[in-house]
Amino acid sequence: MRLTRQVGKEAALEAAGFGAAVAELAWCHRHALLLTALLVATAALTLGVFGFRRHLVAIYAIGGVLGSTAEILGVRAGAWRYTAPHFLGIPVWLPFAWALVSVLTVAIAATAAEVMRP
């Protein structure tokens, strides 16, 4: 295992991004436009910290589309519903939450792999 200062810094930044996203969702879920703006700002900061690498931007877009599609299908099938849907049964902020969490998941996985590398 190798836990270098750089890996620790990356892990802290990833945890901060994840914590910010969770806090935004918890505190602002009733204010769709504010939450959307906060999630976009957090994503921009997160991608900026990670250097706006092309693959992370692609993961952001793909995560937003695939996550939202799964949510829309679940809502349409009657598995669950949202109290304040704006588009196809989901809140306007949901694609941005999925997109941000997708980028953070990939970043956290890469950091964990770095730590576990022999």
pLDDT tens-place string over residues 11-27: 899 999 999 999 999 99
Q: How far apart are the first and last CA of the chain?
A: 6
Tell me the backbone φ, ψ of residue 52, rounded to 5 degrees. Answer: 45, 40
Q: Mean pLDDT, to the nearest integer, of 16-41?
A: 96
Tell me the backbone φ, ψ of residue 16, rounded to 5 degrees. Answer: -65, -40
- The whole domain housing 82 covers 5-116
Indicate the number of domains in the chain.
Answer: 1
Q: What is the pTM of this model?
A: 0.90
